Amino acid sequence: MNLTQERLKELLHYDPETGIFVWLVSPNSRVQAGEVAGGPASCGYWRIRVCGARHSAHRLAWFWMTGAWPLFEIDHRNGIGTDNRWKNLRDGTRSFNIQNQRRARSDNKTGFLGVHRSGKKERKGFVAKIQLDGKQRYLGVFSTAEAAHAAYLAAKRRIHPGCVI
C-alpha cells in the first residue's frame, strides 16, 4: 500500500513544535493510541513503522506537512537526527546535506572536522582541507589542530551554503 498524506494523518498526529508523532489509533496490540510513535534507530534517526513499512520520522514529518515526499534528503539544521521539529528540517541534495556535517568521522585521528596530520616530515603540523564541487581545496598547514579547524570552519561558513554552524 502506498502511504498517502490522508492516511498518515488518520494514523498519526505530528506536532511541528516538538517534532513528535503520536498514534491516533492503536497500530497493534502492544501500542495504544496516544503513545509516542516509533523509536531511535542505530543510525541516529527516529524511525516509525507505518502500514508495515519503516519510515524515518523526518521524512514522515515532511510528508505530513507538505503532502509530498522530499525530493532529495532531509537535513536536520542543528545536526541532531532525532530533532524532527518542522523548523529544524529542510530538503536538500546529498551535497547540501553533507555541507552541514558537524563532527569528524570516527576514523579521523585529530578529532576535528576538515583536519588531518601532515604526512610530510619537513612540514609537521595539521593540514586543513575542504571539499567544494567534488574537489579538495587546500587551506594550509597549521601548528595546532585547533588552528587548522578554525581555518576550516571559516572556509566552511564562506563557501558551503548548507552550513549552519
Picking from 95, 120, 143, the residue at the C-terminal end of a domain is 95
pLDDT of residue 82: 95
Average pLDDT value for residue range 106-119? 77
Amino acid identity for residue 102 in this structure: R
CATH number, domain at 109?
3.30.730
The domain of 56 spans 5-95
Nearest to 21 by CA among 39, 6, 5: 39
Average pLDDT value for residue range 5-27? 97
Please give the Cα distance from 34 to 21 (Å, whole number).
Answer: 9
- Tell me whether residue 61 is in a domain: yes
The listed range with the strongest mean pLDDT (41-55, 84-98, 138-152) is 41-55
CB atoms within 10 A of CB 42: 6
Statement to judge: residues 106 and 125 lie in one domain: yes
Statement to judge: residues 75 and 10 lie in one domain: yes
Average pLDDT value for residue range 103-126? 74
How far CA 101 is from CA of 14, 20, 109, 110, 117, in Å, comes to 26, 24, 17, 16, 20
- Tell me whether residue 46 is in a domain: yes
pLDDT tens sequence across 69-84: 998 889 888 888 899 9
Average pLDDT value for residue range 78-107? 77
